[in-house]
Structure 1
């Protein structure tokens, strides 16, 4: 039986697409008769306090699997706008991962390491040489390109150093997995790597929400997910009063460094409901009760390459999407006809697209069914995991 070590900063019971991706990978690889161990951190994203709530620990199989899930504790504060605090957090995790690996007496056939942060990627490289095995690099975001995209870290010489490290990591990997086709050209260009595995974020069949016909004038839209550096929270702020004027309700299930600022800005508007982070299952129930799902990204070149996890969530719940996005995400939404995506940051024009969908029950129903069909055919974990299993076996 092949032995695989997964190294990841985020894992169950944490929320967010990173942790959800690693949870699906871990559980499905074990179902494929692989001996899988995971090295991760104690849950802390977006903050440690929410995991005191036992509702987040809703997977009995994972709760009991203490022999194969190895966690490190972290002292540094992570959830901050400060790039210095974040770097210290990432470095502390990388150091503790490496220390544990250095002392470990086990053997592995494959290391599966996910990046960013790039420091975790280099822990995987260290593990590759320590265990004398192959390394599979899972690229979930282009780093350091995304650092430049969020505009908080633009020191030219340091960025250049990170780019050199990024190229080295790509070249030393035995196989590269990408979760967005938008990454393909960049990785092939800078590292000369041709044979990539595309395994997108996705869902499993049992997660699909039952579809119900949403008729009438409910006019409810939802934003579920990160309110961070990459998301255009300023646009949400500008959009709220226009939605209020049209009697359109907005639900936000959010977390992230810009959450507090956004809530403070829109608190006086009666059409907005703010909900604190929930388990995936509870979040899906609420999403499915809405007419539309909203997704925004800042208008930067690097964000044209990504497919935000909330798009997958909306599709799983059968909720048509209004996307203020460009590039790969825009193409998926428009080409698959599961919503309307525009690269337009004028609130009045966005409102017109929202109203167009809210006024057409038949079109939304058609988009709902198409969204879940796309999940089953293109973003189905139970099918896509076979690409990785075939490589390992």
Structure 2
């Protein structure tokens, strides 16, 4: 099958960030499919590269998280416009695999189906427009209704939909009850991430001690609530704890977080430059807990964050700040503890207890790795995707959705 894969923010492991599309596209190539990726690049002109058998087209569309609303919209629409021109020039595909965000990528699916009779599958990574509406980025009622109408049209006209979490799948069923839905969560790269003991060399490299360490590795944006990790760091410092807090990432709120750490005189917080997946695994190897956080908005409870699955593969106990699917997995499988804002004192007490009972920490880490191996390998995700792109797939939901939802 010849597939054009639409992802505006395609990344490789060497670049760091969300690499789901890299692994899925590579898996499709390994399965015998021909895959061309259309993405956005930072160069001033068009570029094309072969990456692991994937023909990747880079369109000159600059985008940064710090962009304001209108500049973001301009980048989204510019990508759609240029992608249309490119698709017209390429050999006709059998299928478009379109992934959000942003929701505007779905315009390419609608256009290709209407103008070229090419079917498309739409992958829903985050709930748009619900997320920007709840964050407050979209306030105009006319714009809200227009985007909700577009969302429904994109879902209804797709050959099928791919959801990244049970909460997203539930939302899709409400919007399009008769649509075929496949649940393919983010996944753990068990080859690139793996349990490692704290290395004296790495401790020296990052100027750390062997004390209890909590690490965050991910985006530093408005919705990531990393400021709550600083609240925990402040409490630990006030209590005279030798605990260490590592923040590795980049995003629009990085300057504010750095400034907040300075204002609070948090000598126990260490900011580490954003890096490749290998660098992330290196940082996680020094951590006793992986911090998983989001702002406390209903829509964010449905998220399937890459950093969570990286931490599972690395065999790390989880410290989660919000309720949702990740929270349920942590509780059900004893992967770690919660640190809800209203219960920071009880979370702190549990951390003190675990600091003195390393056996319990080891068990939580083992549980994390076992969960990744059983339910969230990239091989399972690729298998689910090959099922999803099969036109003969007529079941409403993917065959192993029940296992994922009850994992």
Same fold (TM over 0.5): yes
For 2:231, which of 222, 225, 238 is the aligned residue? 238
Shift of 1:342: 4.7
For 1:266, which of 240, 261, 267 is the aligned residue? 261
Question: Could you tell me how far apart the structure 2 residues matched to 1:249 and 1:232 are?
Answer: 18
CA contact (8 A) 1:326 1:342 kept: no
Q: Structure 2, unaligned stretches of length 5 or more?
A: 200-208, 391-407
Shift of 1:78: 3.0
Question: Could you tell me how far apart the structure 2 residues matched to 1:246 and 1:355 are?
Answer: 9
The corresponding residue for 2:107 is: 122
Which whole-Å deviations, capped at 9, do the CAs of 1:330-385 have from their partners, x for residues lacking one? 11111121111254345434423333333321111111111111111111111221
Question: Could you tell me how far apart the structure 2 residues matched to 1:265 and 1:343 are?
Answer: 20
User: Which has the higher mean CA deviation after the structures are superposed, 245-254 or 164-173?
Assistant: 245-254
Question: Could you tell me how far apart the structure 2 residues matched to 1:252 and 1:190 are?
Answer: 37
Shift of 1:310: 1.3
**CA 1:30/1:86 → structure 2, altered by over 3 Å: closer, same or farther?**
same
The corresponding residue for 2:312 is: 315
CA contact (8 A) 1:233 1:258 kept: no
Question: Could you tell me how far apart the structure 1 residues matched to 2:370 and 2:108 are?
Answer: 38
Q: Within 5 Å, which residues of 2 pair with 1:238-317?
A: 238-244=231-237, 245-267=240-262, 268-317=265-314
**CA 1:273/1:343 → structure 2, altered by over 3 Å: closer, same or farther?**
closer
Question: Could you tell me how far apart the structure 2 residues matched to 1:96 and 1:256 are?
Answer: 26
CA contact (8 A) 2:24 2:381 kept: no
Secondary structure class of the residue paired with 1:89: helix
CA contact (8 A) 2:247 2:272 kept: yes
Question: Could you tell me how far apart the structure 2 residues matched to 1:162 and 1:8 are?
Answer: 19
> In the alignment, is residue 165 of structure 1 matched against residue 166 of structure 2?
no
Q: TM-score, structure 2 length as denominator? A: 0.85
**CA 1:301/1:195 → structure 2, altered by over 3 Å: closer, same or farther?**
same
Secondary structure class of the residue paired with 1:314: helix
Shift of 1:130: 4.1
CA contact (8 A) 2:225 2:293 kept: yes
> In the alignment, is residue 85 of structure 1 matched against residue 84 of structure 2?
no
Q: TM-score, structure 1 length as denominator? A: 0.88
**CA 1:361/1:116 → structure 2, altered by over 3 Å: closer, same or farther?**
same
Q: Within 5 Å, which residues of 2 pair with 1:1-393?
A: 2-13=1-12, 14-17=15-18, 20-42=19-41, 62=51, 68-75=55-62, 77-80=63-66, 82-102=68-88, 104-212=89-197, 218-244=211-237, 245-267=240-262, 268-393=265-390
Which whole-Å deviations, capped at 9, do the CAs of 1:125-167 have from their partners, x for residues lacking one? 2223444222110100000111123223222221111111001
CA contact (8 A) 1:330 1:341 kept: yes
Dislocated runs of 4+, deviation >4 Å: none
User: Which has the higher mean CA deviation after the structures are superposed, 171-180 or 81-90?
Assistant: 81-90
Question: Could you tell me how far apart the structure 2 residues matched to 1:192 and 1:169 are?
Answer: 14
CA contact (8 A) 1:323 1:330 kept: yes
CA contact (8 A) 1:10 1:22 kept: no
